[in-house]
């Protein structure tokens, strides 16, 4: 694949995920559709989503979980971590926090 096509695919995934997160509250159906399209692009072009995009999908049931609506974020524990729980299947996974990690930046937004 041409490097250009790869960049375009990643850009499109980014736009779709951003739109999905934005619409998660007002239009969950649209958000789900956009998230699904992003996943489709990722699998069709065999491009791994960048971590900050991947984290809106449940690791277990692969459904879209919008921060705050489709999932629960809990901070705490030692070592410091974010615990993300999927509202659909109840799966929890922990993301360890290191200084300046991508997660801490995302959560602060
Ligand atoms: Zn799940």
Domain 3-108: state its class: mainly alpha
Query: How far is the centre of ligand 1, averaged over its atoms, from the C-alpha of 87 (Å)?
Result: 7
Which phi and psi angles does 90 have, rounded to 5°?
Answer: 80, 5
Averaged pLDDT for residues 63-71: 80
Q: Is the pLDDT of residue 65 over 70?
A: yes
Whether the full predicted model's pTM is greater than 0.85, yes or no, is no
- Measured in Å, residue 88 CA sits from the centre of ligand 1 at 5
CA of 4 to the centre of ligand 1 (A): 33
Cα(83) to ligand 1 centroid in Å equals 13
pLDDT at 41: 95
DSSP character string of the chain: --HHHHHHHHHHHHHHHHHHHHHTTT-HHHHHHHHHHHHHHHHHTT-PPPHHHHTTB-TTT--B--BTTTEEEEEETTTTEEEEEETTT--EEEEE--TT-HHHHHHH-
- Domain residue spans of the chain: 3-108
23-64 pLDDT tens trace: 988 998 999 999 999 999 999 999 999 988 998 898 889 889
What's the mean per-residue pLDDT of the chain? 84
């Amino acid at each position: 694949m041409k490097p250009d096509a790869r960049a375009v695919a990643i850009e499109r995934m980014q736009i779709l995920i951003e739109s999905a997160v934005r619409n998660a509250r007002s239009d969950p159906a649209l958000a789900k559709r956009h998230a699904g399209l992003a996943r489709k692009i990722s699998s069709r072009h065999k491009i791994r989503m960048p971590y900050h995009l991947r984290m809106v999908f449940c690791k277990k049931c692969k459904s879209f979980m919008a921060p705050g609506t489709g999932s629960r974020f809990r901070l705490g524990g030692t070592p410091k971590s974010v615990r993300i729980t999927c509202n659909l299947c109840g799966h929890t996974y922990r993301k360890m926090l290191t200084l300046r990690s991508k997660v801490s930046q995302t959560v602060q937004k």
